[in-house]
Amino acid sequence: MKQFVMIFILPFMLMLTSMSSCHKEEDIEDEPQTARLHVEFTNDLASEFSINIMQLRPHGNAGMANSPAIGNWTTNILTEGTVIAPGTTYNMDLDIPNLFWDEYRLGVIDANGNSIMLHEQEAWPNQTGPPITHWGSDKRRCYVTLHYQEENDLILISAWGDNAY
C-alpha cells in the first residue's frame, strides 16, 4: 500500500510544484508594462481654430480621480510646422505608461493669424486640461472642439473626447 501511495502522490506533488512556478511567471507578465501609445488626435470639424502647439504633462494612475501631476509640461510635441486645421487628424506615438494619463494644453492660431496659448489668455479659467489616457488599448482616438466665447473674449475648448479603439 505504501508503494501505491508513493506512486500516485509523488507525481501529484511534482505537478503542484510546477504549477506554482507557472503562476509566478504569470504574475510577472500581468504587471503594467510601459508601451507606446498611438494617438489619432482630431481637431473637430466644428472647431473655429487651427492647433499649432500641443504640450503634455504626465499625471498618475488613470483609475484615481483627480490624480495630481507627476511631471512638468513638455515643449511642443507637434512636428515643427504642423498645423491641425479643423476636420483634420494628426497621428503620434506617445510614451504614456499603461494605466496612466497625460493632460494636454493647446496653442492655436487666432483670428488675426497670431499663435496663442489658450491658458495664457486673460481671464482663462484655471482648470486641468483634457486627458490622453493609456487605458484599455495601446491605441487612442482623441478629439477637441475649439470655439470663441465672445462674452469673455476667450478661445475655449467646448468639447473633447478620449477613447480606446
**Can you give the pLDDT at residue 36?**
93
- Averaged in consecutive runs of 10 residues, what is the pLDDT profile of the chain (165 residues)? 48 45 44 77 98 96 87 97 98 96 97 97 91 96 97 96 96
Q: Give the model's pLDDT for residue 128.
A: 86
Give pLDDT, residue 100: 95
The structure's pTM equals 0.79
Q: Residue 28: how many CA atoms within 13 Å on its side-chain side?
A: 5
Q: With 0-12 CB in 10 A as exposed, 13-18 as middle and 19+ as buried, what is 156?
A: middle
pLDDT score at 3: 54
At residue 66, the pLDDT reads: 79
Q: At which residue does the C-alpha cell 510546477 appear?
A: 18
- Per DSSP, the three-state class of 150 is helix
